[in-house]
Amino acid sequence: MRIWIFVGLLLGAMSGLSGCGSESSTCGTSADCGEGQACEEGSCVTPSAVMCTGDPDCRPGFQCLGGSCQPLPRFDMGPEDMTPEPDFSEPDMPAEEDMAPLDNVNPTVVAITPADGTADVALDVSITVEFSEDMNPATVNFMSLLLKDPAGDDINAQVTFDPETNIATLTPDAPLYPATGYRVVPTALLRDLADNSLRIDPSPDANFTTILGIPEKHTELANTFAPVVFQSMESFEPGARNIDTPMLVNFDDDFEARNNKANGLLTTVSPPANVYYSVVESQTHYFITYALYYPVRRIKNTEVNQEHDFTGAVFVVDKATETLQMVEGLKVDEGNDTVIAFKPSASQVTGTGNSSYFETIQEADYVEGRYPLFITSGSHEACHWVNEGPTVPTVCRHDSRGFSEGPTDGVMMRPGTAQIYNESVENTETGIREMEYGLVPLASLWATRNLVGEQLLWEKLTVYSPIEGRTSKYPDESLIVWPNRLFSNDETTYGKPPFAWLKTSSNNNQGQWLFDPAYLLQVRYAFPEGFSADYCHNVYMAIDNTSSAPCAEVVE
C-alpha cells in the first residue's frame, strides 16, 4: 500500500499562485513537472518523498531505502543518471580491446603417435597424444584417454600430461601382445581450460598393430617346407582367373572385405599370388600352416559366384629330425569343415578312427623335393597332386597329376617372389604354366582382428572355446577372441579364416585347429611316444618360452 505525503503543500499552493508554470499539481507525464519531480497518478511528486516499507511500494526504477523510495543505481555515471528519471541509455562499457574473448571452441587432437595404420609397433611402446590448445590437466587421465584391445577392453595404463607442450603420454602397465591391433581412444571427457570438451566428430581414434614377433627359425622352416601348389583354373580369362588365384585378403589395399568379390572379378585387376604361413612350435614338433585366400568361390558347373573362400593345410614337422610327419588339408564349408590327410610312407603317425580320410603318399611323388599341394578350382579344396582323393566324402576329385578341368588347365606355383599370372611361363615338356607365389605371415592377418565392421574386414569377434579344458585365455587372463569371417553382403559366404577352423557338428571349438594343433591333432591321429602338447612359441596365445628350458634346448 502506497502512502503519499505531500510535503510543503501550502508552499506549493503559494508557488502555484505566483505563476510558476513549470510546476503544476496535475500532470500527464513527468515532463509537466518541475525539476526533481515525477508524475505519479496524475500529480507531480518528489520521489524521495514517497514513503515505503519495501521495494513493491516504489515505482519502477526506484528502490526502498530508509523508508523512502530512491533511484536504483546505474551501471554508468553519465549526466543522464543524475536525475530521478528512469535511465534507458546504454551503460558505459569497457573498450572492446579490454574485453577477453569468450572461448567456445572445442579442442582437437593434432597428432597421435603411433599414427593410425602404423604396423610393427614395439611391445613396450608409449603412446603420445598432442592437443590443439591448453588442456585442463585434471581431465587428462586414464578414464579420458584409453587404449583398447581387439575385444574392446581397456588396457591398464598410466597417463601423464605436459602442459607446456599440450602432449599426453599413455604408458601401458605391461608389454603389449605381438601381432595384435590396438586402438587409441581420446574421449569427450578431455577438456580445455574453458571447459570445452574434446571434439570427437570426426573420430580422433587411431589404430596400430604391434610387431609380429616371428622367430627367424620359423620363417626358415616355412620356406623349407612350403609346397609346390598345383592350382586348377576354370578360366584363364582376365578377371575370371582371379577366382582361382590365391592372394592377400587386402589385395585391393582398402581393408574393406565386402568389395573383394567385385574387385577380384575386374578384368583390369591381376593380383600377385600369395600364400599365408604360420608356425606354432611345441616342445617336440613344428606345426606349419599354409592358408590360401580367394576373393570368390564359384559353385561347380554354375555361374554362381560367392564372396570369399579359404583353404589350407597344416604340415606337422618333427623338431629332432626336421622331417615331415603328416599333412592335413581342409575344405572350408558353410557348415562343417572337411579334412583330408596324408602322410609320408616313412612316418610313424597312424589314424585313430576319428579321421575320415588318411592316406599314405610316397616321397617319390614329391615335386622338386616339395610336397605337391593340389587345389581344386571353384571350391578350393586342399588336396594332393598325385592322389586322386576320396569318393566319400567327394572331395579332391581329379586325375592323378592332372587338373580338375583337364591335364593342363591350371598353373604350377613354386614358393619365391609373388608374381601375377601374366608372368607365368609355359613348360614346354608338361604344357603347364609355371610361376611363383610369395609367403606372407598369417600373423599379419591375425593382427587385423580389431578391424570389425561393415566398412572394414571382419563381421564380428567370438570368444575362443577349446575342448577338454585347454586354455582359452592369454597370460594376463584376458579372453582370446577370433574373427568369425570376413564381412560380406552376400547371403552365403565362405570367408571363414583359419582362426575359425575347424567347425564340426560335435564341438564348438572353432579356432583350435590353428591355435592348439598339438592337442587337437592327437585327437584324430596317434603320434609316436614322447609327443608334447606344451608350446614353446604360439603367437595366437601370446606364448614365448623359446629362451627357457626345455624349449631352449636342442631336441635330441
Q: Judge whether 298 and 376 are in contact, CB under 8 Å.
A: no
Give φ, ψ of 477 to 5 degrees. Answer: 75, 5
Give φ, ψ of 282 to 5 degrees. Answer: -100, -175
CA distances from 431 to 234, 402, 403 (A): 16, 11, 12
In the DSSP assignment, the letter for residue 262 is H
The secondary structure of 491-532 as a DSSP string is SS-B---GGG----SS---TTHHHHSHHHHHHHHEEPPTT--
Give φ, ψ of 73 to 5 degrees. Answer: -70, 150
CA distance 105 to 192: 9
**What are the boundaries of each domain within the chain?**
9-95, 109-210, 216-544
Is 219 in a helix, a strand, or coil?
A: helix
- The b/e string for 305-321 (b: 16+ C-beta within 10 A; e otherwise) is bbbbbbbbbbbbbbbee
* Residue 75 scores a pLDDT above 70: no
Q: Look at residue 22 in the predicted model and tell me its pLDDT.
A: 40
Which of 126, 80, 131 has the alpha carbon at shortest distance from 110? 131
Share of the chain above pLDDT 90, in %: 70
In terms of Cβ atoms closer than 10 Å to its own Cβ (0-12, 13-18, 19+), residue 25 is middle
In the DSSP assignment, the letter for residue 427 is -
| pLDDT one-digit tens code per residue, 203-257 | 999 999 999 999 999 999 999 999 999 999 999 999 999 999 999 999 999 999 9
* Residue 197 scores a pLDDT above 90: yes
Q: Look at residue 93 in the predicted model and tell me its pLDDT.
A: 59
* Residue 111 scores a pLDDT above 80: yes
- In CATH, what number does 109-210 get? 2.60.40.1220
CA distance 132 to 128: 13
Q: Look at residue 395 in the predicted model and tell me its pLDDT.
A: 84
Q: What would the mean pLDDT of 123-138 be, rounded to a whole number?
A: 98
Give φ, ψ of 287 to 5 degrees. Answer: -115, 105
Which residues make Cβ contacts (< 8 Å) with residue 20, sequence separation at least 6? Answer: 34
- The b/e string for 216-233 (b: 16+ C-beta within 10 A; e otherwise) is eebeebbeebbbbbbbbb
| pLDDT one-digit tens code per residue, 10-57 | 334 334 433 434 444 677 766 777 766 666 667 776 655 567 788 887
Q: What would the mean pLDDT of 68-79 be, rounded to a whole number?
A: 61
Q: Look at residue 88 in the predicted model and tell me its pLDDT.
A: 58
550 forms bridges with which residues in the sheet? Answer: none
Q: Is the peptide bond before 86 cis (omega within 30 degrees of 0)?
A: no
CA distance 521 to 531: 11
Which of 437, 430, 379, 391 has the alpha carbon at shortest distance from 413? 437
- pLDDT confidence tier of residue 345, bands split at 50, 70 and 90: very high
Q: Look at residue 314 in the predicted model and tell me its pLDDT.
A: 98
Q: Is the peptide bond before 550 cis (omega within 30 degrees of 0)?
A: yes
296: part of which helix (H) or strand (E)? strand 285-298
Is 406 in a helix, a strand, or coil?
A: coil
| pTM beyond 0.85, yes or no | no
The secondary structure of 354-397 as a DSSP string is --S-EEEE-GGG-BTTB-EEEE-SSS--EEESSS---TTTT-S-
The secondary structure of 95-115 as a DSSP string is -GGGSPPP--PPP-EEEEESP
Please give the grid coordinates belonging to residue 338. Answer: 572337411
Whose grid coordinates read 581329379?
Answer: 398
